[in-house]
Chain A
Amino acid sequence: MFGLKADWSLDVFERYFTLGDYAGGEARWCPGCGDFAVLNTVHRVLRDAQLPPEQTVAVSGIGCSSRLPHYMGTYGFHGLHGRALPLANGIKSRRPDLDVWVATGDGDCFSIGAGPWIHSIRYNMDMVVLVFDNAIYGLTKKQTSPTSPEGMLTNTHPYGAPLPALNPLTVTLGITNVSFVAQVVDWNPPLLYETIKAAHQHKGTSFVRVIQRCPVFSQDFCKPMQEHPEQMLLLTHENGIPMDDSVKRVFKEQHEHDPSDWVGAMAIARDESRIPLGLLYHDPDAPVYDVLSSAGREKTNEEKLAAINAALDSFAI
């Protein structure tokens, strides 16, 4: 009205999406589960991007995290244990127009899905991969996962997890053609939002490890981090995750890290005395496989028939 452009009121959205448009069935994780925070953040990022729900596909494997598609109002594919990534890759292969999100967990991705994890990072298809890492198998009730800290008491290792935990950051960083690696905790909403938003904006496979609370089976995994935020190392940089003062006030230990610096990222990931938060690595120019796999979609039936006829003719006698 006052000082605004005269035609402002004419700029009517044909469709405006609210958070409710991205929400599906009522989420049924345990009270206090970190997964709620991730789900709400995904809804917010989608709402702010104003992506049509029908253009969005949430893909998952098996586990607590993998229930996420059921709590989305978008298309979804709740697949097989460890196999979310091949399904997501296939969805993207001929449909680069779809916005693909993958929800997976530490068991689903780093254990049974380890093969697809490695190769999907290398394919670098354009999608967001959120690994909900609570260092435990929750849905099957408290078995050791690859990221369970050494000594953690579980039902499969009642005398303590026998091996040092797998480091998903060094593994992911070590994969050829990796293009986006970030780490965040579920209990800091501004950092979680900005991290997932940055992941969504990246063209390629955005790998985000979300350190996630399981109040039922692995309380001891996150509690020390919550009580001692000085264990965390906040990665700051103008090309990193945008973060306001509220985040910087919580995580006082900070390190200026250029996300294009792969060697620096590997050094940070290897240093297990600190848990890095933020963007470890970003290469916006890494080749994206969906460009290859979706080639030829525009061919007309006439062109296809000509190609088939030419192929048959090459066998003619």
Chain B
Amino acid sequence: MTQTDETAALVSGLPDRQPTRISEHIVEVVSDSGEGAQKCGQTFGTISGKMGNGAWTVEIIPAEIQPPARSPAGASGIRIRVADSYVTNMGDEADLVVAFNEQVLYSRIANGAYKKGTVVLLDDKWASDPQEEIREQYAAAVGEFRDNGLVVHELPIETECLKIVDNARKGKNMFVLGMLCHIYSRDVQMGLDEIASAFARKGDAVIRPNQELFRSGYRFAAEHVDYHYRIDPWTDDMGPTVVTNGNQAIGLGVMASGMEMVAMYPITPATSASHYLADVFQDAGGFVHQAEDEIAAAGFAIGASYAGMTACTITSGPGMALKTEMMGLAVMGEIPLVVVDVQRGGPSTGLPTKVEQGDLLSTLYGMPGDAPKVIIAPATIEECFHYVILARKLAEAFRTPVFVLTDANLATGVQPYPRPVPQEEWLAAPIDQSAWDSNVPAYDWDPQTGLSPRPIPGQRGGEYVLTGLSHTNRSKVAYDSDTNQTSCEHRSRKLAALGKTLKPPVINGDDEGDLLVVGWGSTMGAIEEAVNKLRDAGHKVSSIHLRFLSPLEPQLKEIFSRFRQVMTVEINYSDRPDAPQITPENRRYAQLATVLRASTLVDVDCWSVVYGHPMQPGMIHKELNRRLTAMHNEI
């Protein structure tokens, strides 16, 4: 690591300690809402990414905008997993936590975020609070935490900040950033630069005190905090790199796909994708339409698509439910359309800010009648970008809505990945306005594939009336039995035709063994980390991760046949086999498991939970280990 002049100046006169080399750490910063913990953590993650570390950042979000201060349920904050290798998930228990008050730690402890030995650097301002009740709460909590094995250090964070600013609530986060930068040997100049760019719009009067707080935090940690680590870069050759969250990646993907219209309605956790687009979309000629409701957003996008400009609507589960009828219309009218569903906990309003993979079955089957459509699920933040581009291409080639299922974990996770290089061929072709041969019907279904070209308004000779009613190949309303049967066949055949072009999934691990774990979506990093750890311990376990959920990727049955057991790991509800009333006949399986059982007739098992937080490698490891051990004991 090159020491810049800034660093040299800052550390002069400080105790000269050699940092301990570690391969990874999980760091959390937790506070009341509005104290800037997330800004602090994001900046720490960005600096780490820039220094060549693998990193995964995830926000800890309370469901309320402004929960009461010092509320045990109101923890707001951020987790950053930093490593000298590629990081694909948020990991298990935290190693080091900076807490702005003691109460917010309770909900993190309840979530299993900490372990015995987790270091807690706690602001001690509450020990001398004017209210006796708060002083007592503080003392009791610190005692309780220590009894439970947390290593609590009480530090005068507020006091130190007040030496620089009048109101420590604004700025404490930058002091803490400075502390973290010393603890983890981060580059000081990078920290100062990040602060300058973060507050660029607010000007020097804001930048300077924040940088001063940062320096002060850095020096404070050097003088008063014993922990001092270094995490080496994992690679120097990832090439040009970007750091985004999944929703930003979706927004960038929309731009790079050549789509020019996003119609949306605000819904957590999807909205930030549209926020991002609203900021930059116009530079690429695009427009974000905030519709009056979810249904109108879908209708607006469908209208734009029908008129030749394939559009996108971005939503989450409750919005998907409202859009159901529109989605059926898009299937029936064979309208290209991209629908991004950033899944959250359900049913109903459910867990707005938390993750679930609960919309697979409703997306597949949620419409009346037979409504075949394409469903794809990116497994990484990088894939969020590329799959939107893929989605538009598929939507137009197959004249169908394409659903991209991401989730709150991908949406808010932040990760470095290779910078995509936009290609002209990713962009949409100009709207075809050449004459249409009026002998060619509006749905000139190819009997082999179900595919047909579509006339676009403005094309002379192509005039037709798109209808959601059963229709002939000329889009004439027809209620007769043959027409309905035939048109359903053609719409369904498109999926089979697409399925024929897909490759079988890549197997992580050996091609055969005792146990195959099947996953989809944001769980890939956690599943593979757990599987690889078990493989290192000698277990015959492998995993596959499906990106295409409709149509399914080929050869699944054949792959399954090479393993003694097959199971899915998912973040959605399933009955535990040993739960009251549950038998093998009435057990309700996780969603992908249900689909795989039906399509392969293999007895695919599942392990799934709906705790509302991302799947963690430790949880999966524990469950897989239990199953593998049981299998070995049977032999």
Those of A24-55 within 8 Å (CB) of chain B: 24-25, 52-55
Interface residue tally for chain A (C-beta within 8 Å): 59
A79 adjacent to B329 (CB under 8 Å)? yes
27 A-B residue pairs with CB within 8 Å: A52-B460, A58-B465, A70-B467, A75-B465, A78-B466, A78-B469, A79-B299, A80-B325, A83-B326, A85-B299, A87-B302, A93-B261, A93-B289, A93-B303, A94-B307, A296-B260, A296-B282, A296-B284, A297-B260, A307-B255, A308-B284, A310-B283, A311-B280, A312-B252, A312-B420, A316-B241, A317-B46
Those of A292-310 within 8 Å (CB) of chain B: 292-299, 301, 303-305, 307-310
Those of A112-141 within 8 Å (CB) of chain B: 115-116, 118-119
CB-defined interface of B457-488 with A at 8 Å, one 1/0 digit per residue?
Answer: 11111111111110000001100000000000
A24 adjacent to B299 (CB under 8 Å)? no
Q: List B contacts of A304 (CB < 8 A).
A: 255, 258, 284-285, 427
Of A76, A85, A309, the residue contacting B422 (CB under 8 A) is A309
Minimum C-beta distance from B182 to chain A (A): 21
* B388 interfacial by beta-carbon distance below 8 Å: no
* A231 interfacial by beta-carbon distance below 8 Å: no
Give the residue name and chain of the B residue nearest to A317 (CB): B50
Task: Report how far A54 CA is from B308 CA in the complex, Å.
Answer: 13
Can you add 20 more A-B contacts, CB < 8 Å, to A70-B476, A76-B464? A70-B467, A74-B463, A75-B464, A78-B465, A80-B329, A85-B296, A86-B295, A87-B300, A87-B303, A94-B309, A97-B458, A292-B287, A303-B285, A304-B285, A307-B255, A308-B256, A312-B242, A315-B242, A317-B242, A317-B416
Q: List A contacts of B422 (CB < 8 A).
A: 305, 308-309, 312
A311 adjacent to B283 (CB under 8 Å)? yes
Give the residue name and chain of the B residue nearest to A84 (CB): B299
Once A74-B463, A80-B329 are accepted as A-B contacts, the answer to whether A296 and B299 lie under 8 Å apart by CB is no
Instruction: Specify which of A79, A292, A297, A309 lies most central, judged by the most chain B CB atoms within 10 Å of its CB.
Output: A79
Task: Report how far A73 CA is from B461 CA in the complex, Å.
Answer: 10
* A240 interfacial by beta-carbon distance below 8 Å: no
B427 adjacent to A301 (CB under 8 Å)? yes
Task: Report how far A25 CA is from B287 CA in the complex, Å.
Answer: 36
Instruction: Specify which of A118, A299, A310 lies most central, judged by the most chain B CB atoms within 10 Å of its CB.
Output: A299
Minimum C-beta distance from B237 to chain A (A): 14
Q: List B contacts of A309 (CB < 8 A).
A: 422
Once A80-B468, A98-B307, A317-B242 are accepted as A-B contacts, the answer to whether A90 and B263 lie under 8 Å apart by CB is yes
Across chains A and B, which 8 residue pairs bring their CB atoms closest together, nearest first? A90-B303, A86-B299, A296-B285, A76-B465, A299-B285, A307-B283, A119-B292, A90-B300
* A237 interfacial by beta-carbon distance below 8 Å: no
Minimum C-beta distance from B338 to chain A (A): 14
A70 adjacent to B465 (CB under 8 Å)? yes
B284 adjacent to A72 (CB under 8 Å)? no
Of A54, A58, A80, A97, the residue contacting B460 (CB under 8 A) is A54
B-to-A contact residues, CB < 8 Å: 46, 49-50, 240-244, 248, 252, 255-256, 258, 260-261, 263, 280, 282-287, 289, 291-293, 295-309, 311, 325-326, 329, 416, 419-420, 422, 424, 427, 431, 455, 457-469, 476-477
Once A296-B282, A301-B427, A304-B285 are accepted as A-B contacts, the answer to whether A91 and B258 lie under 8 Å apart by CB is no
Q: List B contacts of A235 (CB < 8 A).
A: none
Minimum C-beta distance from A258 to chain B (A): 31
A293 adjacent to B289 (CB under 8 Å)? yes
Task: Report how far A97 CA is from B308 CA in the complex, Å.
Answer: 12
Minimum C-beta distance from B433 to chain A (A): 9
Q: List B contacts of A317 (CB < 8 A).
A: 46, 49-50, 241-243, 416
* A169 interfacial by beta-carbon distance below 8 Å: no
Q: List A contacts of B289 (CB < 8 A).
A: 93, 293
Q: List B contacts of A173 (CB < 8 A).
A: none
Q: List B contacts of A91 (CB < 8 A).
A: 303-304, 306-307, 457
B424 adjacent to A305 (CB under 8 Å)? yes
Q: List A contacts of B282 (CB < 8 A).
A: 295-296
Of A73, A90, A301, the residue contacting B306 (CB under 8 A) is A90
Once A90-B302, A94-B309 are accepted as A-B contacts, the answer to whether A75 and B457 lie under 8 Å apart by CB is yes
B296 adjacent to A119 (CB under 8 Å)? yes
A83 adjacent to B299 (CB under 8 Å)? yes
* A95 interfacial by beta-carbon distance below 8 Å: yes
A307 adjacent to B467 (CB under 8 Å)? no
Give the residue name and chain of the B residue nearest to A309 (CB): B422
A316 adjacent to B256 (CB under 8 Å)? no
A78 adjacent to B467 (CB under 8 Å)? yes
* A57 interfacial by beta-carbon distance below 8 Å: yes
B252 adjacent to A95 (CB under 8 Å)? no
Q: List A contacts of B308 (CB < 8 A).
A: 94-95
Minimum C-beta distance from B84 to chain A (A): 17
Minimum C-beta distance from A25 to chain B (A): 7
Of A57, A87, A316, the residue contacting B240 (CB under 8 A) is A316
Q: List B contacts of A24 (CB < 8 A).
A: 465
A95 adjacent to B307 (CB under 8 Å)? yes
Task: Report how far A85 CA is from B291 CA in the complex, Å.
Answer: 12
Those of A88-106 within 8 Å (CB) of chain B: 88-95, 97-98
Q: List A contacts of B258 (CB < 8 A).
A: 304
Q: List A contacts of B46 (CB < 8 A).
A: 317
B468 adjacent to A79 (CB under 8 Å)? yes
Once A91-B303, A297-B260 are accepted as A-B contacts, the answer to whether A86 and B284 lie under 8 Å apart by CB is no
Minimum C-beta distance from B358 to chain A (A): 26
Give the residue name and chain of the B residue nearest to A77 (CB): B466
Minimum C-beta distance from B324 to chain A (A): 11
Minimum C-beta distance from B235 to chain A (A): 13
Q: List A contacts of B261 (CB < 8 A).
A: 90, 93-94, 293
Q: List B contacts of A119 (CB < 8 A).
A: 291-292, 296
Task: Report how far A72 CA is from B258 CA in the complex, Å.
Answer: 32
Task: Report how far A79 CA is from B299 CA in the complex, Å.
Answer: 9
Q: List A contacts of B477 (CB < 8 A).
A: 70
Q: List A contacts of B431 (CB < 8 A).
A: 95
Instruction: Specify which of B241, B258, B307, B311 lies most central, judged by the most chain A CB atoms within 10 Å of its CB.
Output: B307
Give the residue name and chain of the B residue nearest to A89 (CB): B300
Give the residue name and chain of the A residue nearest to B420 (CB): A312
Of A59, A83, A312, the residue contacting B419 (CB under 8 A) is A312
Minimum C-beta distance from A293 to chain B (A): 5
Task: Report how far A48 CA is from B282 CA in the complex, Å.
Answer: 38
Q: List A contacts of B416 (CB < 8 A).
A: 317
Task: Report how far A94 CA is from B262 CA in the complex, Å.
Answer: 11
Task: Report how far A55 CA is from B100 CA in the complex, Å.
Answer: 62
Q: List B contacts of A297 (CB < 8 A).
A: 260, 285
* A278 interfacial by beta-carbon distance below 8 Å: no
